[in-house]
Amino acid sequence: LPAVLLKDTKLMDVKLGQLGTWLAMRDFTPGGILGAMRRGYERYYNKYINVRKGGIGGLSMVLAGYIVLSYMWSYSHVSKYN
C-alpha cells in the first residue's frame, strides 16, 4: 500500500495534528479557489443531479441553501433589534 503525500490527502483523512501543514499546502490564489469551487460543483452535480434515478434530494439542498442565504442577507431588515 503506497503512502499518500499529505498534499494529495483529502480533508476528511487529515489528522488534527497535520491540519496546519495541510492548510499551508493549499492553493489560496484566485485561480486555486475558483478551481476548488469548480471541482466541488462538479462533484455535487455528478452525485445529486446527473443520475439515472434522481430524487428531490439534490434540488432540495440547493433550495434550502438559498433560503438560508437569503434570510442571512435580509436579517437586518427582518430583525426588530436594529
- The pLDDT tens digits along the chain (82 residues) read 567 788 788 888 888 998 999 889 888 999 999 998 999 899 988 887 787 776 787 788 889 999 999 988 887 776 666 5
Q: Which residues contact 33 (CB under 8 A, 6 or more apart)?
A: 27
Phi, psi of 36 (to 5 degrees): -65, -40
- Per-domain boundaries in the chain: 1-50, 55-81
Three-class SS of residue 18? helix
